[in-house]
Amino acid sequence: MMARVMRRTGWLAVVGCCTALAASCSLFRAQEPLDSTTGRHPTAPARLAQLDFGRDAVFAQCVPPACPTRTPKSLATEAPKQSIDPAASPAPAEPVAPTPVQPAPATTAPSSRTVIVQFALGSAKLSRAARSQLNAAMDDLLQVRRITIIGRTDSTGPLAFNQDLALARALAVRDHLRRTHPALAATLTLRARGACCFIAPNDTLAGRAQNRRVEVVFQMNEEHQP
């Protein structure tokens, strides 16, 4: 008799506990408003949601509250957009001054000119070609300050002979200039170089022919430079 009573009491205790547990759960459930037309709780529409992130991200349809919720960590912060005032006009560009063009440097006329006349082997006589060359040069260079006449030879023969021959060639050019332009007599200066200053090798006929010469250097006045 006692066992039956204890069994019935245990069942009553279990039923009471279940009833109390169900009542406590209903207290924490959010009460959703009923739809006035159907009398049922409204169902949220399905939407597309991202179920993962990174390379494993997938998208699927879900119905709230089963959809994943957004958190501040998963939302990207957007940079504030700068508002543009349509009435504001762009600032005018500052004018840039043009780069001044540097004038090209003026070319200075040469202050001197050299004319070279050739002589035959062992001779101090001016050839016809040499006289014509000197006359053509003087037609263009009448306004001169000084004329330097330098006689030269090749290396053939004794040194003293070559020195005298160089002087004789310079005198031949001076005498020709005095005859053709007597006013230039005061500007003439003579020099003889029979042992130096060769312009070509003396081991060939052509080189020795170039060394047998007289150099006439015209120094022009500054106001009459060509």
Q: Residue 184: its pLDDT value, please? A: 80
| % of residues, the chain, pLDDT over 70 | 49
What pLDDT shows up at residue 26? 46
Which residues, other chains included, contact 144 with Cβ-Cβ below 8 Å and sequence gap of 6+?
184, 187, 218, 219, 220, 221, 224
Strands 188-193 and 144-152: parallel
**pLDDT tens-digit map of 128-183:** 999 999 998 887 666 788 999 999 999 999 999 999 999 999 999 999 999 998 88
Query: What does each C-alpha distance from 23 to 9, 27, 30, 40, 51 come to in angstroms?
Result: 21, 7, 14, 21, 34
Domains of the chain: 112-224 (3.30.1330.60)
Mean pLDDT (the chain) is 75
Mean pLDDT of 93-104: 65
Residue 186 clears pLDDT 90, i.e. is over it? no
DSSP string, the chain: -HHHHHHHHHHHHHHHHHHHHHHHHHHHSPPPPPPTTTSSPPPPPPEEEE---GGG--EEEE-TTSSPPP-TTTSPPPPPPPP--TTPPPPPPPPPPPPPPPPPPPPPPPSEEEEEEE--TT--PPPHHHHHHHHHHHHH--SEEEEEEEEE--S-S-HHHHHHHHHHHHHHHHHHHHHH-GGGGGGEEEEEESSS--SS-TTSHHHHHHHSEEEEEEEE-GGG--
Q: How confident is the model at residue 3 (pLDDT cuts 50, 70, 90)?
A: low
Predicted confidence at residue 30, as pLDDT, reads: 45
